[in-house]
Structure 1
Amino acid sequence: MHDLAHEFTSRKISPWGGIKFFQQTYERSGTPSMLSSLDLPQPGSNRGYNPVEIVEGFLTSEVLGARRISHMDWLRADEVLREIFKWDKGMASASTLCRFFNKFDLERSDRVFVELQRRWFEQIDVPQRMTIDVESTVITRYGNQELAEIGYNPTRRGRPSHHPLMAFAAEMKMVVNAWQRSGDSADALQADEFIDELFEILNRDRIGLIRMDSGFYSDKIMNLLEGNGNPEKAVDYIVRAKLTSRLLEEVFNVRKWVSDGDVIKGASYGELTYQGSKWKTARKIIVVRTSKEVVKEIQANLFKEEDLFKQYDYKVFVTNVKMSPTVIHHLYNQRGDCENRIKELKYDYGIDGFALQSFGAMEAAFRFVMLAYNLMALFKQIVMVNSAGRRLSTLRFQCIAIGSYLVKSGRNKKLKLAAEGKRRHFLEHFFSNLELLKAQFQFSSA
């Protein structure tokens, strides 16, 4: 047995030298000046921490894998982090961060994050208008947090939860807006207010398409997307429809079906105009019909409604998009990528963590996590170039977890990074790309 001897050193070595990539992205994105201009809670005395530095500490701990406020205390002694971010007092303590977040209520959150997101997306250019995916998810809670209620929870039935709403920009793989909600909220609850706020962040003329699942199948929401009768304010949308008995009856009456297997093998498409019982106007409905693999033998001239269900699967969409049913179906199917964004936010960014008692505090932490996510999305796509699919957990191993220490170089300090060979070349390439990072950020619409 090989027993390797060990001893301790007083040299201040950090395992997180690669956080310099994040810090440079943060600086060059203009985020510090954005934060400085916002209504962030101020310290109660002159000895308090600068609120921007408090946020920086939270963002940094988030990227490094923190899932609880208390995890920040493990990073406070890291001199490399302190020097990289030039924090006068070092990283704020967990108690300081709790006091900071507890000064947020929902009104302050809206003031801060709407302006922050609006300014963030002002500096992003895409060749065409953006595609926005609106989605909800469930975050299970294990304490007595405010508004943690028992509601729909597919993984932990009977457990209290929160039920946040999120909107993603598909082309940039970024979060445009995000709200926490009580766990007993239906999908569409407050969705109209959420979309109104989305339009404050992104002007309607920058949005090419909004996609939503059947939880948002609501006349009120569709009226809002249609500009409430004003065509100049209308935004194209595709919403998965709920198969109500009345709508299903109309679907069964469709006689013209066009076969097209481009999106799904064996699919047939139908189209109709439908007006719900409480709708003020009729809308375009697209029906996708696919044969089930195993069906009972049914005589063609004896079809009944229940027999049609046994033979076919139906997907129904309501839309104002003036394209063919196949194209509309293809556009909606791409919406599935937002599920990957939610998984990444849960597993890599820990949005189910930071379970503060106050709902306002938890909402603030939740929305600051979205800022960390957007900064890393910018780094992946602009600096790493077309690496949007790489998870944060992978990036920590690739380019953040780098042994490092500080040395004096004349009157200045220098960061030494432990890397050689291919890895050094790999990291040098990122530093070169960082030099080119500046607003306006150019994104492909592909």
Structure 2
Amino acid sequence: MVNLPIEYSDKQVTPFGGMSLMKRFVDQTGIRDYLQKLDLPQPGSNRGYCPEHIIESFWLGIWTGASRYIHCDWLRYDQTLHAIFGWDKMPSQSTYSRFFGKFNQARNTKIFPQLQHWFFDQIGVDNLTVDFDSTVITRYGDQQGSAKGYNPNKKGRNSHHPLMAFVGQTRMVANAWLRPGNTADSSSCKTFMQETFNEALKGKRIGLVRADSGFYTEELLDYLEKENQNYIMAARMYPNVKSAVLGLDNWMNLAKGIDLNEMVFNHLDGKPRRYIVVRKKIEDRPKAGGKLLFDELPGYRFSCYVTNLDLPLDQIWNIYNTRADCENGIKELKEDFGLENFCLQDFWATEASFRFIMVAYNLLSLFRHFALNHHNRATLKTLRVYYFALGAWQVNHANKKVLKIALPVKRRPWMDGIFAQIKNSSPPFVYSNA
């Protein structure tokens, strides 16, 4: 085997020439101008970075593969990437730490609902389906708020326990809070819902609210009903719920191994509500979700949902099942956006970076829908390989700076088509109801 000889060059080449697509799309959204209107921490000297530069650089680090602050340092040496975004230089790891360290509870509570409201105000979509969920982020140090609590993957480890609200039609995050790891599932959920509806999604009509069993409390059900919100929520299998389920008969067969039923049930401190029960036969559906509830019925798993919708049983269950897409969103945020790894000592600093990651995710969701509408389900990892990881360099041509992107001749019309799609995209970004 013959090895190619090695030589070196001073030519400034970037491995991310395709990020010029993302840069132009971000320009179309106008988010940089809006960031300047927010009460963001300002630099302490004339030589400091402006806040929108730090935030945009942070997003760029995430989009190009960073999952820790130290990874963002890699881009400081990429002069061509700087030129693509119009920067002379990029922040260091310590700059990000100092910037996010200036955030506190009051600033987070003020800034992020405003930013999310502005963002969704640019999107032409209404009658939203909002999915509420929580997740667990394992921590390996003694950061503020990290504590031992429910952690199914790393039992006994410290964690944070964030709340998240997704918009089903756009595959975006409407709101997100970081919480200590020992926080109960239902803690702060009502306040979180109120901020989501009244601030982040202010002016948008909510057509349906879906939530997992962590939100199943009488307080939240009462709140949704007083707000005239339609909802489907997974119910916790408390002993009295299990007893009522065990007494059901006349099951309706939906498909092989799946039976449906319904009941009107109320807890001691609650009012009667409609519950949909799904029974799955393990022999026929070995991978089906649900819980083993009864010694009398060892071959079945059960799921239970409470709703105020007056629809057939199968429709209720099918509507709730599409909520699984928000689980895919959480998975992508953890695997591709570094959600579990961007962590600082101060709790509110960590929450600030956590919530800016959500905006980076939303921008990418908007990009893949309107710039890559034929490929709008692709994850960031896929986009990075097929669209962003393109070698490029800068040259001077006729007294003008030009970005040269290394691309085979056959693929150049494809790339030109994406640039044209971006040029024709501008707020409001209207989602089809089809």
TM > 0.5 fold call: yes
Displacement of 1:202: 1.2
Aligned to 1:300: none
Matches within 5 A, 1:234-249: 234-249=228-243
The change in CA–CA distance for 1:16 and 1:311 in structure 2 (over 3 A counts) is closer
> Does structure 1 residue 286 correspond to structure 2 residue 276?
yes
Aligned to 1:298: none
Unaligned 5+ runs, structure 2: 285-292
C-alpha distance in 2 between matches for 1:204 and 1:28: 23
C-alpha distance in 2 between matches for 1:239 and 1:406: 54
C-alpha distance in 2 between matches for 1:204 and 1:291: 44
Structure 1 residue identity aligned to 2:190: D
C-alpha distance in 2 between matches for 1:329 and 1:122: 31
Same amino acid, percent of matched pairs: 41
Structure 2 residue identity aligned to 1:322: D
Matches within 5 A, 1:142-181: 142-181=140-179
3-state DSSP class of the match of 1:38? coil
Task: Give a deviation string over 1:60-85, Cα, whole Å, max 9, x none.
Answer: 01101111112222111212222222
C-alpha distance in 1 between matches for 2:280 and 2:120: 40
3-state DSSP class of the match of 2:301? strand
C-alpha distance in 1 between matches for 2:114 and 2:314: 38
Displacement of 1:212: 1.1
Matches within 5 A, 1:308-327: 308-327=296-315
Displacement of 1:90: 1.6
C-alpha distance in 1 between matches for 2:249 and 2:381: 51
C-alpha distance in 2 between matches for 1:288 and 1:339: 20
Of stretches 405-414 and 432-441 in structure 1, the one that deviates more from structure 2 is 405-414
Structure 1 segments, 4+ long, off by >4 Å, are 305-308
Displacement of 1:215: 1.5
Matches within 5 A, 1:320-335: 320-335=308-323
C-alpha distance in 2 between matches for 1:151 and 1:255: 38
Structure 1 residue identity aligned to 2:7: E
C-alpha distance in 2 between matches for 1:91 and 1:190: 37
Structure 1 residue identity aligned to 2:359: L
Displacement of 1:292: 4.2
**Aligned counterpart for 2:264 among listed residues 269, 273, 284:** 273
Asked if the contact 1:179/1:363 (under 8 Å) is kept, the reply is yes
3-state DSSP class of the match of 2:375? coil
Task: Give a deviation string over 1:86-116, Cα, whole Å, max 9, x none.
Answer: 12x4211221111100000122112111001
Structure 2 residue identity aligned to 1:368: F
> Does structure 1 residue 47 correspond to structure 2 residue 47?
yes
Of stretches 402-411 and 22-31 in structure 1, the one that deviates more from structure 2 is 402-411
Asked if the contact 2:171/2:365 (under 8 Å) is kept, the reply is yes
Displacement of 1:9: 1.1
Asked if the contact 2:128/2:167 (under 8 Å) is kept, the reply is yes
Structure 1 residue identity aligned to 2:239: S
Q: TM-score, normalised by structure 2?
A: 0.94
C-alpha distance in 1 between matches for 2:280 and 2:154: 32
Aligned to 1:117: 116
Q: CA RMSD in A?
A: 1.7
Displacement of 1:394: 1.2
Asked if the contact 2:392/2:403 (under 8 Å) is kept, the reply is yes
Q: TM-score, normalised by structure 1?
A: 0.91
Displacement of 1:6: 1.4
Matches within 5 A, 1:109-258: 109-126=108-125, 129-199=127-197, 200-203=199-202, 206-227=205-226, 233-258=227-252
Asked if the contact 1:204/1:235 (under 8 Å) is kept, the reply is no
3-state DSSP class of the match of 1:10? coil
C-alpha distance in 2 between matches for 1:386 and 1:136: 31
**Aligned counterpart for 1:259 among listed residues 253, 259, 266:** 253
The change in CA–CA distance for 1:67 and 1:313 in structure 2 (over 3 A counts) is closer
Matches within 5 A, 1:292-303: 292-293=282-283
Asked if the contact 2:213/2:236 (under 8 Å) is kept, the reply is yes
3-state DSSP class of the match of 1:11? coil
3-state DSSP class of the match of 1:309? coil
Asked if the contact 2:128/2:204 (under 8 Å) is kept, the reply is no
C-alpha distance in 2 between matches for 1:306 and 1:236: 31
Aligned to 1:301: none
Of stretches 414-423 and 364-373 in structure 1, the one that deviates more from structure 2 is 414-423
Aligned length: 425
Asked if the contact 1:103/1:361 (under 8 Å) is kept, the reply is yes
Displacement of 1:248: 2.1
Asked if the contact 2:209/2:230 (under 8 Å) is kept, the reply is yes
Structure 2 residue identity aligned to 1:169: V
Of stretches 421-430 and 106-115 in structure 1, the one that deviates more from structure 2 is 421-430
C-alpha distance in 2 between matches for 1:134 and 1:422: 44
Unaligned 5+ runs, structure 1: 228-232, 295-304
**Aligned counterpart for 1:357 among listed residues 336, 345, 353:** 345
Displacement of 1:314: 2.3
